[in-house]
């Protein structure tokens, strides 16, 4: 196991960010549990039994912001408590004892608003209702719905099977006792991986280490390893009609023989198509032929796929599809690419300098290195700037058209 307490010391920012990460293994059976927890554990504790009391306690303990999130990371879920606190350079009380804040943090994590073995019924029912409303709003939004459908169509290994959108029917069956038992298993009985960033004095770091010491078992996680989706033999064409005003087209490519090093090429492909420096999607699909409302791209480095998204005029579906194929053909033309790739390299050089002044970028970069989920910012740029147009064309030729998903809006546009 790596170091459980990690810190980035910098005096460039007037705040300290504390991330407490509790990894656990992803499981479709517990998808609803996790989504309910993040709606239950952020408003009250047994010490602060109302939202108003808890809100006041945040202020009294110099907590500038607080959140709990659940993230996918390879074969794991990460439950992350984030506390942003003021550093002592801006505190009114120059002798402020940070032990008070750390005790508050411990109480928030380990003393949730609950009975000895169950969350309160009313709290659980409220969380269930909020979660169901969240799912319903996702289905009502064309972008969310189309993304949910697309994930199901391209997922050949059931990696998206823990999506909450697939488990709405399971929500009401979960009891407060079952949910509390799950909380105790993945959070309440574990000590987290701690990431502290900011103007962190040694005494403060020591307090954190002592507080999250040996009294609990450390959370464990499955080391990150890519799980590529495999290109299918033919193209999966799905055309549907929905009760939306707009229509949406998603064209999905998977990468043949995908490997970790391809992540930088995926990033370059995304920037070529969607960056303001090159505007390839906008130029072909909107400026030239007025085929779309909007066009964008996205990619997934864990599963190795790339998606072109377009919200289109209903009658322009066929020509929009052909134009996306035309764009992908152009990306195999060195003369078309050369100046554009250089533009992206320069943009990323400037972006790298900008990210050095971003607290969030520094923290994310540190976690990328810790969990081996990608390349550090400097290393990624060094790889990018050495990529030649010919090498990029070789990568594009490994893109295999996998799925075309078209959702036609049935209402007047």
Among 70-79, 308-317, 355-364, 379-388, the minimum mean pLDDT is found in 355-364
Q: Per residue in 255-301, pLDDT tens?
A: 999 999 999 999 999 999 999 889 999 999 999 989 999 999 999 99
Mean pLDDT, range 181-201, rounded to an integer? 92
95-104 long-range contacts, CB within 8 A, separation 24+: 96/62, 98/203, 98/204, 98/207, 99/207, 100/61, 101/61, 101/62, 101/63, 102/207, 102/208, 102/211, 103/211, 104/57, 104/61, 104/63
Residue 1 pLDDT greater than 50, yes or no: no
For the chain, the average pLDDT equals 92
In this predicted structure, what is the pLDDT of residue 411?
Answer: 67
**pLDDT value at residue 311:** 94
391 has pLDDT over 70: yes
Q: How confident is the model at residue 177 (pLDDT cuts 50, 70, 90)?
A: very high
Span 130-173, pLDDT tens digits: 999 999 999 999 999 999 999 999 998 888 999 999 999 999 99
Number of neighbours of residue 176 by Cβ within 10 angstroms: 21
Tens of pLDDT along 342-386?
999 999 999 888 887 787 888 889 999 999 999 998 999 999 999
Q: What's the sign of the alpha-carbon dihedral 260, 265, 373, 73?
A: negative
Nearest Cα to 249, choosing from 15, 377, 406, 129? 406
- Please name each of the domains of the chain with its CATH number: 5-218 (3.30.830.10), 236-409 (3.30.830.10)
CA distances from 163 to 26, 155, 167, 178 (A): 11, 12, 7, 20
Which of the four pLDDT bands, split at 50, 70 and 90, describes residue 6?
A: confident
The 10s digit of each residue's pLDDT in 83-140 is 999 876 666 566 668 888 999 999 999 999 999 999 999 999 999 999 999 999 999 9
- Output the pLDDT for position 199: 81
Work out the pLDDT band at 206, boundaries 50, 70, 90: confident
pLDDT at 92 (0 to 100): 59
Task: Give the alpha-carbon dihedral of 385, 388, 392, 395, to 10 degrees.
Answer: -100
């Amino acid at each position: 196991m790596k170091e459980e307490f990690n810190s980035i010391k910098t005096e460039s920012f007037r705040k300290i960010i504390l991330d407490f990460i509790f990894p656990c293994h992803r499981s479709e059976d517990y998808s609803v549990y996790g989504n309910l927890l993040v709606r239950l554990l952020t408003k009250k504790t047994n010490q602060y039994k109302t939202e108003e009391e808890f809100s006041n306690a945040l202020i009294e303990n110099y907590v500038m912001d607080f959140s709990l999130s659940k993230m996918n990371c390879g074969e794991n879920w990460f439950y992350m408590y984030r506390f942003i606190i003021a550093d002592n350079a801006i505190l009114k009380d120059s002798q402020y004892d940070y032990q008070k804040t750390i005790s508050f943090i411990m109480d928030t994590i380990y003393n949730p608003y609950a009975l000895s073995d169950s969350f309160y019924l009313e709290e659980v029912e409220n969380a269930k209702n909020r979660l169901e409303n969240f799912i319903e709003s996702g289905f009502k939004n064309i972008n969310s719905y189309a993304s949910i459908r697309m994930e199901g169509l391209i997922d050949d290994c059931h990696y998206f099977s823990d999506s909450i959108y697939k488990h709405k029917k399971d929500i009401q069956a979960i009891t407060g006792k079952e949910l509390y038992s799950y909380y105790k298993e993945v959070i309440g009985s574990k000590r987290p991986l701690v990431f502290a960033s900011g103007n962190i004095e040694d005494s403060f770091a020591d307090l954190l280490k002592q507080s999250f010491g040996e009294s609990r078992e450390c959370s464990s996680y499955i080391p990150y390893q890519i799980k590529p989706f495999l290109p299918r033999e033919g193209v999966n064409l799905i055309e549907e009609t929905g009760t939306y005003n707009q229509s949406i087209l998603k064209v999905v490519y998977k990468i043949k023989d995908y490997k970790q090093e391809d992540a930088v090429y995926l990033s370059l492909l995304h920037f070529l198509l969607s960056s303001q420096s090159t505007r390839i999607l906008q130029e072909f699909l909107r400026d030239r032929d007025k085929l779309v409302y909007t066009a964008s791209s996205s990619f997934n480095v864990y599963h190795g796929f790339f998606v072109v998204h377009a919200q289109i005029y209903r009658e322009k579906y066929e020509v929009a599809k052909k134009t996306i194929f035309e764009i992908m053909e152009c990306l195999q033309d060195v003369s078309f690419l050369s100046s554009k790739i250089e533009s992206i390299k320069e943009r990323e050089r400037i972006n790298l300098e900008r990210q050095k002044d971003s607290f969030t970028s520094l923290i994310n970069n540190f976690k990328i290195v810790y969990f081996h989920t990608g390349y550090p910012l400097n290393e990624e740029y060094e790889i990018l700037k050495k990529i030649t147009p010919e090498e990029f064309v070789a990568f594009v030729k490994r893109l295999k058209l996998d799925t075309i998903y078209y959702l036609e809006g049935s209402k007047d546009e």
